[in-house]
Structure 1
């Protein structure tokens, strides 16, 4: 028979953990239900200790090594794609360039002028309809070519053949600086006939059909563009990070460490690696850190079982995690008097911007939280509002700390005593505590390294043009 000192395991919010022994209570003080315990239990399931984060960091490093190794890359979940961008800007880049930024339902065409360290940009945003996003690849690229033609005409450059850098923010296998095959669509795109194809070739074919003259000299991921944008003004920028609708990272790696490299071995002897780290956890290595709410989110996504790291961090999913927790608490009678509105029951109805707005509200009466909940058909009591704020804070704090667990693996691999991380994305820009939570966690996980987080100014646009400019400087 087990002794009374044997630790027991309990399921808290979908994760198994050792129970903390509690003093025996008299029958009069035992309650069949405790709102505080229910809330605390769920929030505790979202807490990641320093030891948890160090374990995740070690797992990320193992995944990085697998992705860089030619023998293990085919089965690696973090693919570590070489971007074929071999050098950071040195400030001498100059000229007139076009940039195309495609990464969501809106895309931009830009004219970027570089002169003596100064950057001037003109851009226009074009909306992609749902039908075009989910139609054929030919329809999608024809629409992009038509938009390029319109922008060139408005700039008075219809017949001018300027170099173009193409930011394409979807998982790609790069075969050269201006050659990349789409691995899979994400972010609601499903245009047929594109996956497995070279997207630069598809754009060139569309431009030929539409008689648009362009030199497409480089294709980059938005993460690479983010890194290049900050490196133009800060020379110790070695990592690029996206924290928006999705998440990804890239960094400058020594060519000698890239066993999968298929390009030339000449100078420069570095290459930016597009990690595609959102796929981390697809091999179930993160399962012990995921909660039942993470599992529920994954169940209703189009890419079930994939991008699991991303689904715990990025803006596309954080609001849904909060919604599921609120529904659980309300269903159990711990919020809203046990009432759950039809809107609150609707998947994706609680947007991540609500989480940001609630945490940004510093008023004593939690007015923003109250307004948001009422817009979802819920009338919170005064005692409900602090609980909702705690739930939002727990979800966003976990996301920030998780992102740094991955970053710490990259920082350690680079091995520099000081470095800058270029960051872009609406979650990082708009959330009130995301940056500060990241900075605190960086001090925990890489205490001997001075790390600066730098907001990238339009990396997906300026960065793409800078890649084209660097290629021109190197004579690529």
Structure 2
């Protein structure tokens, strides 16, 4: 829809509109940072670290068997059992969610992994696979320094976890030791990965042309398939396929000041009041943890200047974080002119009085913030498409912002088309459950490659 607001409000919000030329500049700057991240000499100073995931093979639908997945990314974790048949004739998935008690989140690390092993035991016994040593893929959505496909060292905790004795340790080893202490089942933990890698693997099982995965949810990240020759940081073997999935960690893009030319006063205020000042600059303009607050900062300024609600806000409205990101989706999902959702939200925020024009202006601000987010993601995706340089590429998408916002997909498609090389084609595909199914698929592909190598060795012998 065409955005409308009075000239004064437009002037105040003008900085939230990023021109096509500036988006192209963002695209090119990201390319430069990726180059720095992949280079051994410049990686230490790069904001986009481009960690090799050690995942090199994509699914080819010849994977078969039973596989476990463990998806740990917050206060809940999920265990999945997936059974695959060749050519994907049939896929069976069962799963169960387990809550992590708060005392375990902040206690000794051994108790956390013992608890996970206990839940794994309960799960494999429930589905009667406790006597089978199944391959397991482990999605671990915390900052990791990956040192191999099945070795990842925790850099730091996040999301309320403070378990002692885990930072600096290999997560796979800690889980394997806990399984051995439990002693009533066995698993083969063949891979540890983050949720973006899982999203790409999950999508590529259904869409063989998938080469990029993007998550836009509470946080944001991207991974893509890179030529091994361009990855100076690579320390593994150089056999075929000469490619590896790169975990960009692009949320940190801009920490060196390179994105200051598009930052607004609202971005700077949000950053100064955040727990990680100066960090995750790109992520703070894009992801669900922050964009609601950016809209809230704009709306509070408009109210203070008498341009909204007749200058009368409320104590709740002025509280930091009170304007939730979900409000953007709820307000924008209604057709232009329909304001019932906006009215409900303003009532929740205890706004004493408001008009239809106020609701229209609130929507205007929400649309600017959400479209800026989608435009910046588009610039990032265009950068990756131009790097991959394949004629037609499927981009796997996941995350609550992408999934729930009514216009995000459309704005991205339009934005990417303006920024990619003219001979390239792309398709955005929603990839559901990448963290879980993707982890199991990494385990399945690892098992397939191991079997193929065994056959090759047998034949050559």
TM-score by length of 1: 0.89
> Do residues 431 (structure 1) and 405 (structure 2) align?
yes
In the TM superposition, what whole-angstrom CA distance separates every residue of 1:236-273 from its partner, at most 9, and x where no partner exists? 11001111111111111111111011111112211111
Write the distance in 2 (CA, Å) between the matches of 1:401 and 1:200: 37
Partner residue in 2 for 1:32: none
In structure 1, which of residues 40, 48, 54 is the aligned counterpart of residue 24 of structure 2?
Answer: 54
Preserved contact between residue 313 and residue 403 of structure 1 (Cα < 8 Å): yes
Partner residue in 2 for 1:369: 342
Identify if the C-alpha distance between structure 1 residues 279 and 111 changes in structure 2 by more than 3 Å, giving closer, same or farther. Answer: same
Which deviates further from its counterpart, 190-199 or 68-77?
Answer: 190-199
Report how far residue 156 of structure 1 moved: 1.9
Partner residue in 1 for 2:63: 93
> Do residues 320 (structure 1) and 293 (structure 2) align?
yes
Identify if the C-alpha distance between structure 1 residues 297 and 272 changes in structure 2 by more than 3 Å, giving closer, same or farther. Answer: same
Partner residue in 2 for 1:460: 435
1:264-413 to structure 2, matched below 5 A, reads 264-362=237-335, 364-378=337-351, 379-413=353-387
Partner residue in 2 for 1:444: 418
Identify if the C-alpha distance between structure 1 residues 328 and 139 changes in structure 2 by more than 3 Å, giving closer, same or farther. Answer: farther
Partner residue in 1 for 2:83: 113
Write the distance in 2 (CA, Å) between the matches of 1:129 and 1:52: 46
Write the distance in 1 (CA, Å) between the matches of 2:429 and 2:217: 15
Identify if the C-alpha distance between structure 1 residues 332 and 132 changes in structure 2 by more than 3 Å, giving closer, same or farther. Answer: farther
Partner residue in 1 for 2:94: 122
Which deviates further from its counterpart, 282-291 or 88-97?
Answer: 282-291
Which deviates further from its counterpart, 35-44 or 143-152?
Answer: 35-44
Write the distance in 1 (CA, Å) between the matches of 2:346 and 2:318: 12
Q: Secondary structure at the match of 2:189?
A: strand
Report how far residue 102 of structure 1 moved: 1.0
Q: Give ranges in structure 2 of 5+ residues lacking alignment.
A: 454-461
Preserved contact between residue 107 and residue 127 of structure 1 (Cα < 8 Å): yes
Write the distance in 2 (CA, Å) between the matches of 1:37 and 1:183: 48
Q: Secondary structure at the match of 2:386?
A: helix
In the TM superposition, what whole-angstrom CA distance separates every residue of 1:303-326 from its partner, at most 9, and x where no partner exists? 221111111101111111111111
Partner residue in 2 for 1:193: 165
Write the distance in 1 (CA, Å) between the matches of 2:102 and 2:333: 32
Report how far residue 43 of structure 1 moved: 2.2
Report how far residue 126 of structure 1 moved: 1.5
Identify if the C-alpha distance between structure 1 residues 188 and 391 changes in structure 2 by more than 3 Å, giving closer, same or farther. Answer: farther
Write the distance in 2 (CA, Å) between the matches of 1:260 and 1:170: 21
Report how far residue 104 of structure 1 moved: 2.0
Partner residue in 2 for 1:6: none
Q: What RMSD in Å do the two structures reach over aligned CA positions?
A: 1.6
Write the distance in 2 (CA, Å) between the matches of 1:365 and 1:163: 52
**Segments of 4+ moved more than 4 angstroms:** none
Which deviates further from its counterpart, 294-303 or 58-67?
Answer: 294-303
In structure 1, which of residues 139, 147, 162 is the aligned counterpart of residue 119 of structure 2?
Answer: 147
Partner residue in 2 for 1:19: none
Preserved contact between residue 82 and residue 272 of structure 1 (Cα < 8 Å): yes
Write the distance in 2 (CA, Å) between the matches of 1:292 and 1:135: 40
Write the distance in 1 (CA, Å) between the matches of 2:255 and 2:106: 25
Q: Secondary structure at the match of 2:121?
A: helix
How many residue pairs were aligned? 442
Write the distance in 2 (CA, Å) between the matches of 1:135 and 1:292: 40
Write the distance in 2 (CA, Å) between the matches of 1:301 and 1:311: 10
Identify if the C-alpha distance between structure 1 residues 190 and 175 changes in structure 2 by more than 3 Å, giving closer, same or farther. Answer: same
Identify if the C-alpha distance between structure 1 residues 460 and 182 changes in structure 2 by more than 3 Å, giving closer, same or farther. Answer: same
Write the distance in 2 (CA, Å) between the matches of 1:339 and 1:390: 19
Write the distance in 2 (CA, Å) between the matches of 1:187 and 1:53: 31
Report how far residue 363 of structure 1 moved: 6.7
Write the distance in 2 (CA, Å) between the matches of 1:448 and 1:343: 51
Q: Give ranges in structure 1 of 5+ residues lacking alignment.
A: 1-34
Preserved contact between residue 171 and residue 276 of structure 1 (Cα < 8 Å): no
Q: Secondary structure at the match of 1:345?
A: coil
Q: Secondary structure at the match of 2:96?
A: strand
Q: Secondary structure at the match of 1:142?
A: helix
Q: Secondary structure at the match of 2:290?
A: helix
Q: Secondary structure at the match of 1:71?
A: coil
Write the distance in 2 (CA, Å) between the matches of 1:329 and 1:189: 38
Write the distance in 2 (CA, Å) between the matches of 1:237 and 1:455: 11
In structure 2, which of residues 110, 128, 132 is the aligned counterpart of residue 138 of structure 1?
Answer: 110
Identify if the C-alpha distance between structure 1 residues 194 and 339 changes in structure 2 by more than 3 Å, giving closer, same or farther. Answer: farther
Report how far residue 207 of structure 1 moved: 2.1
